[in-house]
Amino acid sequence: MLVKRALPMQHACPLLRGVVLAPTARIAEAWGVQPPEVSYARSGDVAIAYQVVGAGSPDIVFVRGITGDLLSTWEQPLLMRHIDGLAASGRVLMLDKRGTGLSDRVREVQSLETTMDDVRAVMDAVGSERAVLWSGGTSTGIAVLFAATYPERCAGLVLFDPTVKGTRAPDYPWAPTEDDWREQLARVRTNWGERSYLEGLAREWAPEVAENDDFRDWFVWHMRRSLSPGAALTSMRTVMELDVRDVLTAVRVPTVVLPHPATPGPGHYTAERIRGADVVELPALRGVYTWVDDDAHRATMDATRRFVSRLTDRAGSERVLATVLFTDIVGSTELAATLGDSAWRELLERHHAVVRRELARFQGRELDTAGDGFFAAFDGPARAVVAACAIRDALRSLEIAIRAGLHTGECEVADGKIAGIAVSIGARIASLAGPGEILVSSTVKDLVAGSELRFEDRGEHQLKGITEPWRLFAVMR
């Protein structure tokens, strides 16, 4: 553990006002703490900053909300005690998500999928095969998507005050309305980074300590270092579009949910939909951070320790979350008759080479090929959609028109193959697509929120053999 002494806020080290935050040497001098070294993992072309705290087993990945800055984290003793509490249960991995803190700034918007890739990249960099993900709030989507997609790498989930949908719905009445979001986004666009605005957020999010001058000063600089005004706006938009309700039933790792005591509804909603999830109620809490309140912090760390102590090594899950892609050539029978057998076989070979090249480029797995059709699977929905677009566009040079359908759902895994109702839904969606059209289910659309992909509503459809109707969307690209 790194924290040598926990000091009350009235003894907090004064931060520099109007200049950059204090260097690590000053932190060590003031607190008797040497912050861990910052390292970088490569997630595609993006450098992700991370730190490793403590040792032991299991690994615990601390996935924070939309903000985060590794260096200024160590200038706040109350936040340090949260990290120290996690380190009492295992080795803690902390990262600044792309676009935040010390990680690379990126032009594209963060999505659940890219941030999930960032978590995986950090785990790979430190040799972590499996880890508990400690998360919640606006980062809940990252944690549950990771757990459902990579159950063999997720030892468990700890979710504090989880948010699984960003905008209010009939079955999710706790989220802000669209009007609420419009007002909030306007305020962020105009005011993010200004001291008066960020001090107002401090009073809203941490009322227990926000009247302390040192805390407010730290909070303002921490927020500024975490997100630029543009990054804050895009991050808030990503939260607004968040919807992982359909993923919850695919999570099959041990999970404990800590609902916010003032608004427990979202926590109970989440726990009821994750198989076998436990719920631990916390003492009263006014703001959004457990680490600013002694009782809430103590209860949170106790729940974490009990949960981690019960974890045992388990065999890999036989069910995973996957995005399935089906493609076939439009009018293939007529085209084959026109070309003749020899020319048709040659065209098919060229078609297959193009499809396989694009699948490899976007990390797709070819699962089956029947005539002119392909069945493939991806561990990320955005990659699957982009791959489908790339396949369609590349085949135009061969004067081949395809149609494609995609769906994300829980699949059974056996001998490297996947099966289940999600596969059937994907195939049915593909059959409804027109020439050159790529259709996706509403689940795919919801999970790529935050990406630059755009869709056009195609309405509800009753898929053959599927009880409930599905709303489908066409990719506009």
pLDDT at residue 316 in the model:
55
pLDDT at residue 109 in the model:
64
Helix axes 381-395, 112-125, angle to 10 degrees: 110
Distances (CA, A) of 442 to 39, 214, 323: 38, 46, 12
Nearest by Cα to 136 from 80, 65, 67? 65
Q: What CATH superfamily is the domain 9-310?
A: Alpha/Beta hydrolase fold, catalytic domain (3.40.50.1820)
> Would you say residue 8 has pLDDT above 90?
no
pLDDT category of residue 4 using cuts at 50, 70 and 90: very low
Tell me how long the chain is.
477
pLDDT at residue 20 in the model:
38
Exposure letters 221-237 (e unless 16+ CB within 10 A, then b)? bbbbbbbeeebbbbbbb
Q: How far apart are CA 114 and CA 309, in angstroms?
A: 31
> Would you say residue 15 has pLDDT above 60?
no
Q: Which two tokens stand for residue 451?
A: 């990406």
pLDDT at residue 449 in the model:
83
pLDDT category of residue 110 using cuts at 50, 70 and 90: confident
CB 308 within 8 A of CB 156: yes
Q: Which two tokens stand for residue 192?
A: 């993010």
Of 14-18, 154-158, 472-476, the range with the lowest mean pLDDT is 14-18
Q: How far apart are CA 94 and CA 60, in angstroms?
A: 9
Q: Which two tokens stand for residue 18?
A: 């109007």
Q: Is the dihedral of CA 237, 80, 293, 196 positive or negative?
A: negative
> Would you say residue 60 has pLDDT above 50?
yes
pLDDT at residue 11 in the model:
34
> What is the phi/psi pair of residue 282, to 5°?
-105, 160
Helix axes 213-226, 195-205, angle to 10 degrees: 110
Q: Does domain 319-475 have CATH number 3.40.47.10?
A: no
Q: What is the mean pLDDT of the chain?
A: 90
pLDDT at residue 24 in the model:
45
Q: In the 3-class helix/strand/coil scheme, how is the chain assigned residue by residue?
A: CCCCCCCCHHHCCCCCCCCCCCCHHHHHHHHCCCCCCCEEEEECCEEEEEEEECCCCCEEEECCCCCCCHHHHCCCHHHHHHHHHHHCCCEEEEECCCCCCCCCCCCCCCCHHHHHHHHHHHHHHCCCCCEEEEEEECCHHHHHHHHHHCHHHEEEEEEEEECCECCCECCECCCCCHHHHHHHHHHHHHHCCCHHHHHHHHHHHCCCCCCCHHHHHHHHHHHHHHCCHHHHHHHHHHHHHCECHHHHHHCCCCEEEECCCCCCHHHHHHHHHCCCCEECCCCCCCCCCHHHCHHHHHHHHHHHHHHHHHCCCCCCCCEEEEEEEEEEECCHHHHHHHHCHHHHHHHHHHHHHHHHHHHHHCCCEEEEEECCEEEEEECCHHHHHHHHHHHHHHHHHHCCCEEEEEEEEEEEEECCEEECHHHHHHHHHHHHCCCCCEEEEHHHHHHCCCCCCCEEEEEEECCCCCCCCEEEEEECC
pLDDT at residue 383 in the model:
92
Range list for CATH 3.30.70.1230 in the chain: 319-475
Range list for CATH 3.40.50.1820 in the chain: 9-310
Question: pLDDT tens across 27-48, in order?
Answer: 445 445 678 999 999 998 999 9
Pairwise pLDDT comparison (294 vs 12), residue with the higher score: 294
pLDDT category of residue 414 using cuts at 50, 70 and 90: confident
Mean pLDDT score, 223-252: 93
pLDDT at residue 464 in the model:
87
pLDDT category of residue 10 using cuts at 50, 70 and 90: very low
Mean pLDDT score, 421-437: 94
> Would you say residue 440 has pLDDT above 60?
yes
Question: pLDDT tens across 336-364, in order?
Answer: 999 999 999 999 999 999 999 999 999 99
Cβ partners under 8 Å of residue 304, min gap 6: 85, 86, 89, 134, 158
pLDDT at residue 247 in the model:
95
